[in-house]
Chains A and B, each alone.
Chain A
Amino acid sequence: MAGPTLLKESGPREVFCGLTSIVWLHRRMPDAFFLVVGSRTCAHLIQSAAGVMIFAEPRFGTAILSERDLAGLADAHDELDRVCKELLQRRPEIRTLFLVGSCPSEVIKLDLARAAERLNEELSGRVRVVNYSGSGIETTFTQGEDGALAALVPLLPASDERQLLLVGTLADAVEDRQMHLFKRMGIETIHSLPPRQSTDLPGVGAGTTVLLTQPFLTETARLLSNRGATVLTAPFPLGAEGSRRWMEAAADDFHLPNERVAAVLDPLMKRAESALARHRAVLEGKRIFLLPESQLELPLARFLQRECGMELVEVGTPYLNREQMAAELALLPDDVPVMEGQHVEQQLDRVRASQPDLVVCGMGLANPLEAEGIATKWSIELVFSPIHGIDQAGDLAELFSRPLHRRQLIRPGLHPSNPDTPVHA
């Protein structure tokens, strides 16, 4: 069969757990608070990731389980009620409280869903309490956002209005830009999930067409379609080509005239092409290896191969939803190995053996690989950068050309090769 070669691997993994999603979700919805119910490890994870920023008002915290909770000496639900009240007293402006499950709370089967329900009743009107799991045993990195959004879906008001719903966290500027473009194409009503204020939830129903902005929203998409929405399958809006196809999928669904769509998009494509050219010059013909992290790997690989001329050595992904990724898989070249899952040691053996020009990997591996002389692009940055849409194609390419460009800049100075012509003189 033509198309990429789908492989699976199991063994030690080097990925984040879903709790990490809090690091960007707390900025998207500043009126929400994320309370992890877990251990000191969970608390340590989040503060290691986000604690470099100095917070006058923390927007996340952990209810740390103690021995008394584990021994059943303290009623976990009473304890949780007490902690939530303590928190809300300090932060009366919180509107939505996410109770986030972790490995310990899942292993001891603490029923956070019921706790959320109970607290909702008690605090009705003032604060909404919802629950999702960000545990490492169940979720990988961006899957935490899927959980958080899925937890919001039942709260969306029913609405039969004809609308386009963009689902998945987008940078503010990117979101504004996409909405503007869709409006110019002729789609009148556009909302997004998650909203910028947690209380400002969009409606959903039979008239809703969902475009996923992110590839990791399997559960959210399923729940939205259960509520009557049509979830489109399209390539994801990374790169000019992907973004165009993504927008055209919505345009088709809204029966917009082709000429009108083309009139909006054609000039953008032209501009993107010139923005990409500079980076293509650096990236073309370079070999890239992507390690699993966020599920963004497939669309990124597609963009880098088709629009930047890179050669794909291996494309890793923590989880492959073949249905939602069908359009992406169709655009990948034949025989490229797509690896679902990970055995990090064996994967690193393959990295070293293939000596790629660039490796996309997590921060636990980036500096060690650099020290071995292998250039890396640390992958978490892709979740924190405005990379979606045709206008962002150049910026997205730059994220990958920058480490290579940097090497060209500083290597000669830092590793003088000819002792006769001292560079530092």
Chain B
Amino acid sequence: MQLTLWTYEGPPHVGAMRIAASMHGVHYVLHAPQGDTYADLLFTMIERRGQRPPVTYTTFQARDLGGDTAELVKRHVREAVDRFQPDALLVGESCTAELIQDQPGALAQGMELTMPVVNLELPAYSKKENWGAAETFYQLIRNLLKAQVPTDINHDPKAWQQEGRRPRVNLLGPSLLGFRCRDDVLEVQKLLTLHGIDVGVVAPLGAGVEDLKRIPDADLNVCLYPEVAESTCSWLERNFGIPFSRTVPIGVGATHDFLVEVHSLLGMEAPAPDEGYKRSRLPWYSESVDSTYLTGKRVFIFGDGSHALAAARICSEELGFTVVGLGTYSREMARPVRAAAKALGLEALICDDYLEVEAAMAEAAPELVLGTQMERHSAKRLGIPCSVISTPMHVQDVPARMSPQMGWEGANVIFDDWVHPLMMGLEEHLIGMFRHDFEFVDGHQSHLGHAGGAGAADSSALSDIPVEGDGALHWTADGEAELKKIPFFVRGKVRRNTEAYARDTGCREISSETLYDAKAHFKA
């Protein structure tokens, strides 16, 4: 048993639903107890869709368990097929159905249906949402394309040159309940079109069964969301010889690298290196003097693998922040995240335990948190500004306005969203100088229209986290008073540094002098 206050991912069948609901002509029969239809709300409320997800739930109840639940499955498969007449059928179980083992997929396959039937085996007690989405997408494509697999592979990504046409790529991975997928697709399409590259199939988002069958017609696959599409891309590479791009174009540098990678795979000349500077506003905004105060701001990053990696690069190379914590809940992405963390002199946090992430955040005492909806809870508790960069998300992160994360425009959105929660420069200076104001008090952020994280991070939240073996450490009144003079958002870090310094030097009492000694020692 694992105590979970918040979960970073849903169960794997929600991932399967994301694939079915993102597409058209695909129906999903889900063997699940009454109540599991809550998942419809993710699509009708969070994604604000005007259609029901194409899912038929068997919604069994306790009284059904005494009877023939297998017959119940067959009846629902029959009804779903008659009513919705899908082009392909997914059949699977939710966590409770997994316990009663009716084998719904095998049952449906034995019903002699006219459309392809994909039996989904998603182990709900060991795997999670993104894995479920990736597995479903992979199984669906494998089922639909296995008849087309060539005996000898002779795919040439440069064939478009001989055929006298523009190069064509598929965009694989975008889905409903993914982070800003709707606008990322538009932005990447625009980006590729600017370079004379056509987009063949976008899948699963918006694709039908016939579209999936056209996937092998492209020269190259673009893997936009590795969490969902990497297994599929690599299957397509093994069986059809279609290469795929590995760079996720989030951030100015990453977008440039992505373009270079795609151009080189397609045999095209690489784009000019200053394109990002010309087409995105992030570089100039970040260079302009107003941004100087962003230098060295301590930031803690957590999210899915792709978004966390992208954020780490943007923060350190494009915004001039100092990354003081980096982690992901995507175990499959642990290796690249570890490597990125190491390059930043950090140890990556790979875990899906909300409490552990919260503890790491408190320990790192950052000035800004870039995380998921869950990190907003911890950041609120600790009184730290926070911006959402990855799923899990809630309704406010499916906005009406165009708001990609990818490409040149995505970088513009990122600049605004990540800088917004920080205290504005002038206010930061003035609060550092004058502490006795009746309106602009410690921790106040007037540009947010309310008291911001006032006080929360000050004494209560940060000091109640026990520091190992500091039982002997004691802050004198004069030490405490000096600490209070440190600007609100770095106070946690200064407290920690001073205590560490006191321990190192064997000092038991921390006075204002100790604080200045520590400051000089750490140059902080």
Residue ranges of A at the interface with B (Cβ–Cβ < 8 Å): 12-20, 37, 39-41, 43-45, 47-49, 51-52, 54-58, 60-67, 69-70, 74, 76, 79-80, 82-83, 86-87, 90, 103-104, 106-108, 135-138, 140, 345, 363-368, 370-371
> Does residue B466 face the partner (Cβ distance < 8 Å to A)?
no
A interface footprint on B345-377 (CB within 8 Å = 1, 0 otherwise): 000000000010000000000000000010011
Residues in A neighbouring B39, C-beta threshold 8 A: 44
- Given the interface pairs A65-B125, A103-B96, A368-B52, the reply to whether A41 lies near B3 with Cβ below 8 Å is no
Instruction: Give the distance to chain B from A365, nearest Cβ to Cβ, in Å.
Output: 7
What is the CA–CA distance of A13 and B64 in the complex, to the nearest angstrom? 13
Indicate which residue in A40, A67, A87, A140 contacts B11 across the interface (CB closer than 8 Å): A40
Instruction: Give the distance to chain A from B357, nearest Cβ to Cβ, in Å.
Output: 13
B60 touches A14 (CB 8 A): no
Residue ranges of B at the interface with A (Cβ–Cβ < 8 Å): 1-7, 9-11, 13-14, 33-42, 44-46, 48-52, 56-62, 64-65, 76, 79, 83, 94-96, 99-100, 123-126, 128, 355, 373, 376-377, 380-381, 392, 394-396, 456
What is the CA–CA distance of A371 and B43 in the complex, to the nearest angstrom? 14
- Given the interface pairs A51-B373, A54-B380, A74-B1, the reply to whether A41 lies near B41 with Cβ below 8 Å is no
What is the CA–CA distance of A16 and B35 in the complex, to the nearest angstrom? 4
What is the CA–CA distance of A358 and B119 in the complex, to the nearest angstrom? 39
Indicate which residue in A45, A79, A365 contacts B1 across the interface (CB closer than 8 Å): A79
What is the CA–CA distance of A301 and B58 in the complex, to the nearest angstrom? 29
What is the CA–CA distance of A74 and B125 in the complex, to the nearest angstrom? 14
A140 touches B1 (CB 8 A): no
Query: Considering the complex of A and B, which 6 residue pairs feature the smallest CB-CB distances, nearest first?
Result: A136-B35, A17-B35, A371-B50, A364-B40, A39-B95, A103-B96
A76 touches B1 (CB 8 A): yes
Indicate which residue in A12, A40, A45 contacts B124 across the interface (CB closer than 8 Å): A40
Indicate which residue in A17, A44, A54 contacts B7 across the interface (CB closer than 8 Å): A44
Residues in A neighbouring B36, C-beta threshold 8 A: 17, 41, 136
What is the CA–CA distance of A142 and B9 in the complex, to the nearest angstrom? 26
**In the complex, what residue of chain A is closest to B461 when comparing beta carbons?**
A56
Residues in A neighbouring B128, C-beta threshold 8 A: 40
Residues in B neighbouring A86, C-beta threshold 8 A: 3
Residues in A neighbouring B35, C-beta threshold 8 A: 15-19, 45, 103, 135-136, 140
Residues in B neighbouring A17, C-beta threshold 8 A: 33-36, 38
What is the CA–CA distance of A61 and B355 in the complex, to the nearest angstrom? 12
B376 touches A54 (CB 8 A): yes
- Given the interface pairs A137-B96, A367-B50, the reply to whether A56 lies near B377 with Cβ below 8 Å is yes
What is the CA–CA distance of A365 and B40 in the complex, to the nearest angstrom? 8
**In the complex, what residue of chain B is closest to A87 when comparing beta carbons?**
B3
**In the complex, what residue of chain A is closest to B96 when comparing beta carbons?**
A103
A137 touches B7 (CB 8 A): no
B99 touches A44 (CB 8 A): no
A58 touches B62 (CB 8 A): no
Indicate which residue in B44, B99, B394 contacts A107 across the interface (CB closer than 8 Å): B99
Residues in B neighbouring A135, C-beta threshold 8 A: 33, 35, 62
Residues in B neighbouring A103, C-beta threshold 8 A: 33, 35, 95-96
Q: List 18 A-B pairs, Cβ < 8 Å.
A: A12-B57, A39-B124, A40-B7, A40-B9, A40-B11, A40-B128, A41-B14, A44-B10, A54-B377, A54-B380, A60-B5, A61-B4, A90-B355, A136-B96, A137-B33, A138-B61, A345-B83, A367-B50
Instruction: Give the distance to chain B from A321, nearest Cβ to Cβ, in Å.
Output: 17
Residues in A neighbouring B48, C-beta threshold 8 A: 367
Instruction: Give the distance to chain B from A66, nearest Cβ to Cβ, in Å.
Output: 6
What is the CA–CA distance of A127 and B13 in the complex, to the nearest angstrom? 36
Instruction: Give the distance to chain A from B271, nearest Cβ to Cβ, in Å.
Output: 40
- Given the interface pairs A67-B126, A137-B62, the reply to whether A13 lies near B34 with Cβ below 8 Å is yes
What is the CA–CA distance of A82 and B3 in the complex, to the nearest angstrom? 9
A61 touches B44 (CB 8 A): no
Instruction: Give the distance to chain B from A107, nearest Cβ to Cβ, in Å.
Output: 5
B44 touches A366 (CB 8 A): yes
Residues in B neighbouring A15, C-beta threshold 8 A: 34-35, 37
Residues in B neighbouring A87, C-beta threshold 8 A: 3
Residues in A neighbouring B100, C-beta threshold 8 A: 107
Instruction: Give the distance to chain A from B32, nearest Cβ to Cβ, in Å.
Output: 8
- Given the interface pairs A40-B128, A66-B2, A345-B83, the reply to whether A56 lies near B44 with Cβ below 8 Å is no
What is the CA–CA distance of A45 and B39 in the complex, to the nearest angstrom? 7
What is the CA–CA distance of A103 and B380 in the complex, to the nearest angstrom? 33
A56 touches B37 (CB 8 A): no
B40 touches A14 (CB 8 A): yes
Residues in A neighbouring B83, C-beta threshold 8 A: 345
Indicate which residue in B94, B373, B395, B396 contacts A41 across the interface (CB closer than 8 Å): B94
B394 touches A52 (CB 8 A): yes
Residues in B neighbouring A107, C-beta threshold 8 A: 65, 96, 99-100
**In the complex, what residue of chain A is closest to B381 when comparing beta carbons?**
A56
Instruction: Give the distance to chain A from B307, nearest Cβ to Cβ, in Å.
Output: 18
Instruction: Give the distance to chain A from B107, nearest Cβ to Cβ, in Å.
Output: 17
Most interface-central of A61, A135, A364 (chain B CB within 10 A): A364
Instruction: Give the distance to chain A from B47, nearest Cβ to Cβ, in Å.
Output: 10
B41 touches A63 (CB 8 A): no
Residues in A neighbouring B125, C-beta threshold 8 A: 39, 65-67, 70
A49 touches B380 (CB 8 A): no
What is the CA–CA distance of A90 and B3 in the complex, to the nearest angstrom? 12
Residues in A neighbouring B123, C-beta threshold 8 A: 67
Residues in A neighbouring B6, C-beta threshold 8 A: 43, 47, 51, 58
Residues in B neighbouring A20, C-beta threshold 8 A: 38
Instruction: Give the distance to chain A from B157, nearest Cβ to Cβ, in Å.
Output: 40
**In the complex, what residue of chain A is closest to B99 when comparing beta carbons?**
A107
What is the CA–CA distance of A370 and B50 in the complex, to the nearest angstrom? 7
Indicate which residue in A18, A64, A137 contacts B65 across the interface (CB closer than 8 Å): A137
**In the complex, what residue of chain A is closest to B49 when comparing beta carbons?**
A367
Indicate which residue in A41, A57, A67 contacts B381 across the interface (CB closer than 8 Å): A57
Instruction: Give the distance to chain A from B453, nearest Cβ to Cβ, in Å.
Output: 11
A16 touches B377 (CB 8 A): no
Most interface-central of A12, A20, A58 (chain B CB within 10 A): A12
Most interface-central of B14, B57, B61, B124 (chain A CB within 10 A): B61
Residues in A neighbouring B396, C-beta threshold 8 A: 52
What is the CA–CA distance of A12 and B376 in the complex, to the nearest angstrom? 36
Residues in B neighbouring A55, C-beta threshold 8 A: 377, 380
- Given the interface pairs A12-B57, A56-B380, A108-B99, the reply to whether A364 lies near B52 with Cβ below 8 Å is yes
A368 touches B51 (CB 8 A): yes
What is the CA–CA distance of A14 and B11 in the complex, to the nearest angstrom? 19
A63 touches B4 (CB 8 A): yes
- Given the interface pairs A15-B35, A64-B1, the reply to whether A47 lies near B355 with Cβ below 8 Å is no
Instruction: Give the distance to chain B from A84, nearest Cβ to Cβ, in Å.
Output: 9
Instruction: Give the distance to chain A from B43, nearest Cβ to Cβ, in Å.
Output: 8
What is the CA–CA distance of A19 and B94 in the complex, to the nearest angstrom? 17
**In the complex, what residue of chain B is closest to A342 when comparing beta carbons?**
B59
What is the CA–CA distance of A364 and B53 in the complex, to the nearest angstrom? 9
**In the complex, what residue of chain B is closest to A365 when comparing beta carbons?**
B52
What is the CA–CA distance of A366 and B380 in the complex, to the nearest angstrom? 32
Instruction: Give the distance to chain B from A419, nearest Cβ to Cβ, in Å.
Output: 25
- Given the interface pairs A16-B38, A51-B394, A137-B65, the reply to whether A367 lies near B45 with Cβ below 8 Å is yes
Extra 20 A-B pairs, beta carbons < 8 Å, given A39-B125, A64-B4, A107-B100? A13-B59, A15-B34, A16-B38, A18-B35, A40-B124, A40-B128, A41-B95, A44-B7, A49-B38, A62-B3, A64-B2, A64-B7, A107-B96, A135-B33, A137-B60, A137-B61, A137-B62, A137-B65, A137-B96, A364-B37
